[in-house]
């Protein structure tokens, strides 16, 4: 197996400077010697066999378990070398890799049904971790989705605020009487931003107990308890219509077998003259299975769609696509900032969980950043409506809204007056 792994790496690594120390102590150098030196060490024969047999799953697990280590570099440096060489055209898989992939696809066809119960369980697996963990690496608003870097020098807090502003501009929130549904409302940051800046009424829904508790607490503390409501509820159980619908970082949990259900339900919930904005991770390649490490350890039930899959279901729902924007490297920069903060707080995360958890989380953040930077992952922002005339004819309104903060200040002052009058 070691011989096959060596041959595979020799064919794969054309550029870069990668050294592998195998379990028997032998060292092999791969690449042309350019770039930073990267050194991976196998600590036992078992990990060599596992990684050779199923690298997409076992590499991350070997790192989690301490069966591999990196010398004078880290896991991201290793993934950078690999992904730069594979790019969008990975080498043909081995016979056993094809068999494993075939088995995973067959299992997915049978098991990947995100029922009401399974959807809640999947969400709780990730989002009901300690809130202290997320405070270690997210911005203070706990925005756990792709930020929007208007300037490459922006820090994470600035970019996350820009993301909320960019999304709000596509929702056309000029009327304070609008009702908004936030599907997958997280810790409440987007819903509270819309209420605070535009004085709209927002209903947020989540399947996470932790997020539900925190978001309602934030609404009360910020004085928005009567204007923003957060529910522990599945989108399939909503029976109300809304003027606007926003969904940020939730569609990745819907599951490909439920795309038609999702968009049909959104069409039912959106008023005839309403506007919806969907913000989701996607891939610019044809449909491929979810990375097995991410699916097993990080986001069970998750699926990253290709645009072709999303469009097909939108067309069936009767909704009209009024705008599509592709955010390319914004998530790579977001993940870079998250991972830097997480690594800086490694000991704090270890105190909450353990070393294995920290390694798992580091591999998740590192591999995700590398995938957005060098492979086929992007973010889609898709604007939808029933009526093609529901939004302006040109895209100028998006930048105009973003450059008109006086509107937000005016709405915010109006909201403050109303809350003070109600409190008095």
* DSSP per position, 223-278: T-TTTEEEEE--GGG----EEEEEEES-GGGT-GGGHHHHHHHHHHHEEEEEEEEE
pLDDT at residue 92 in the model: 52
Tell me, yes or no, whether 52 and 120 share the same domain.
Answer: no
What is the pLDDT averaged over residues 339-347?
98
Q: Is 199 helix (H, G, I), strand (E, B) or coil?
A: coil
pLDDT at residue 216 in the model: 97
Tell me, yes or no, whether 394 and 325 share the same domain.
Answer: yes
Rounded Cα distance, 280 and 270, in Å = 19
pLDDT in tens, 98-129: 544 555 555 555 556 556 656 666 666 677 78
Of 53, 79, 105, the residue that ends a domain is 105
Lowest mean pLDDT among 69-83, 87-101, 292-306: 87-101
In a domain, 216, yes or no: yes
Q: Is the dihedral of CA 371, 282, 168, 365 positive or negative?
A: negative
| CATH (domain of 71) | 3.30.1050
The rounded percent of the chain whose pLDDT value lies above 90 is 75
Tell me, yes or no, whether 193 and 300 share the same domain.
Answer: yes
pLDDT in tens, 291-321: 899 999 998 888 999 999 999 999 999 999 9
**Residue 297 domain boundaries:** 116-423
Rounded Cα distance, 282 and 169, in Å = 22
C-alpha of 32 from chain center: 34
Tell me, yes or no, whether 120 and 101 share the same domain.
Answer: no
pLDDT at residue 302 in the model: 87
The number of domains in the chain is 2
409 pLDDT more than 50: no
| CATH (domain of 301) | 3.40.50.150
Lowest mean pLDDT among 82-91, 97-106, 154-163: 97-106
Tell me, yes or no, whether 411 and 324 share the same domain.
Answer: yes
pLDDT in tens, 235-255: 999 999 999 999 999 999 998
pLDDT at residue 137 in the model: 97
Tell me, yes or no, whether 62 and 182 share the same domain.
Answer: no
Q: Is the dihedral of CA 79, 80, 85, 86 positive or negative?
A: positive
Q: Which two tokens stand for residue 259?
A: 């795309």
Helical segments of 34-74, H only: 45-53, 55-64
In a domain, 110, yes or no: no
In a domain, 298, yes or no: yes
Q: Which residues of 252-288 are buried (b: 16+ CB within 10 A; e: fewer)?
A: bbbbbebbebbbebbbebbbeebbbbbbbbbbeeeee
In a domain, 126, yes or no: yes
Smallest CA-to-CA distance from 146 within 162, 168, 131, 127 is with 162
* Cβ-contact 73, 39 below 8 angstroms: yes
Lowest mean pLDDT among 118-122, 171-175, 383-387: 118-122
Tell me, yes or no, whether 131 and 172 share the same domain.
Answer: yes
Neighbours of 13 (CB within 10 A): 21
Tell me, yes or no, whether 99 and 146 share the same domain.
Answer: no
pLDDT at residue 424 in the model: 45
In a domain, 159, yes or no: yes
Q: Which two tokens stand for residue 83?
A: 């992904």
Rounded Cα distance, 256 and 304, in Å = 8
Tell me, yes or no, whether 279 and 395 share the same domain.
Answer: yes
Rounded Cα distance, 1 and 11, in Å = 16
pLDDT in tens, 127-147: 778 889 999 999 999 999 999
In a domain, 111, yes or no: no
Tell me, yes or no, whether 348 and 215 share the same domain.
Answer: yes
Tell me, yes or no, whether 163 and 191 share the same domain.
Answer: yes
pLDDT at residue 304 in the model: 94
What is the pLDDT averaged over residues 62-89?
91
* Cβ-contact 194, 173 below 8 angstroms: yes
In a domain, 320, yes or no: yes
Higher-confidence residue of 75 and 287: namely 75
Rounded Cα distance, 83 and 349, in Å = 28
Rounded Cα distance, 246 and 182, in Å = 5
CA distances (Å), origin 324, targets 119, 341, 377, 379: 27, 31, 16, 10
């Amino acid at each position: 197996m070691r011989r096959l792994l060596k041959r595979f790496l020799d064919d794969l690594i054309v550029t870069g400077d990668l050294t592998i120390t195998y379990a028997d102590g032998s060292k092999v150098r791969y690449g042309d010697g350019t770039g930073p030196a990267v050194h991976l060490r196998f600590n036992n024969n078992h990990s060599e066999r596992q990684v050779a047999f199923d690298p997409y799953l076992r590499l991350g697990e070997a790192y989690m378990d301490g069966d591999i280590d990196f010398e004078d570099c880290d896991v991201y440096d290793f993934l950078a070398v690999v992904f730069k060489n594979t790019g969008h055209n990975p080498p043909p898989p081995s016979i056993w890799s094809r068999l494993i992939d075939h088995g995973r696809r067959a299992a997915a066809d049978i098991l990947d049904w995100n029922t009401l119960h399974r959807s809640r369980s999947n969400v709780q697996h990730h989002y009901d971790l300690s809130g202290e963990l997320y405070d270690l690496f997210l911005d203070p608003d706990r925005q756990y989705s792709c930020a929007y870097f208007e300037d490459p020098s922006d820090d994470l807090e600035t970019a996350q605020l820009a993301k909320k502003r960019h999304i709000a501009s596509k929702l056309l929130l000029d009327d304070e009487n609008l009702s908004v549904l936030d599907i997958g409302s997280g810790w409440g940051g987007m819903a509270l931003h819309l209420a605070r800046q535009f004085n709209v009424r927002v209903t947020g829904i989540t399947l996470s107990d932790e997020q539900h508790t925190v978001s309602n607490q934030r609404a009360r503390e910020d004085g928005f308890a009567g204007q923003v409501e957060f529910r522990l509820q599945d989108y399939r159980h909503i029976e109300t219509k809304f003027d606007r619908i926003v969904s940020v970082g939730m569609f990745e949990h819907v599951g490909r077998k439920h795309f038609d259900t999702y968009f049909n339900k959104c069409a039912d919930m959106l008023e005839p003259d309403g506007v919806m904005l969907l913000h989701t991770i996607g891939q610019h390649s044809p449909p491929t299975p979810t990375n097995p490490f991410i699916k097993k350890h990080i986001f069970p039930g998750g699926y990253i769609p290709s645009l072709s899959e999303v469009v097909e279901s939108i067309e069936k729902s009767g909704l009209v696509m009024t705008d599509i924007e592709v955010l390319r490297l914004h998530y790579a920069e977001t993940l870079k900032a998250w991972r830097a903060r997480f690594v800086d707080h490694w000991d704090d995360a270890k105190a909450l969980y353990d070393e294995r958890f920290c390694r798992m989380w580091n591999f998740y953040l590192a591999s995700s950043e590398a995938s957005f930077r060098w492979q086929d992952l992007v973010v889609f922002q898709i604007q939808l409506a029933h009526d093609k005339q529901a939004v302006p004819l040109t895209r100028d309104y998006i930048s105009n809204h973003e450059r008109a903060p006086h509107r937000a200040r005016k709405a915010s002052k109006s909201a403050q007056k109303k809350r003070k009058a109600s409190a008095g």
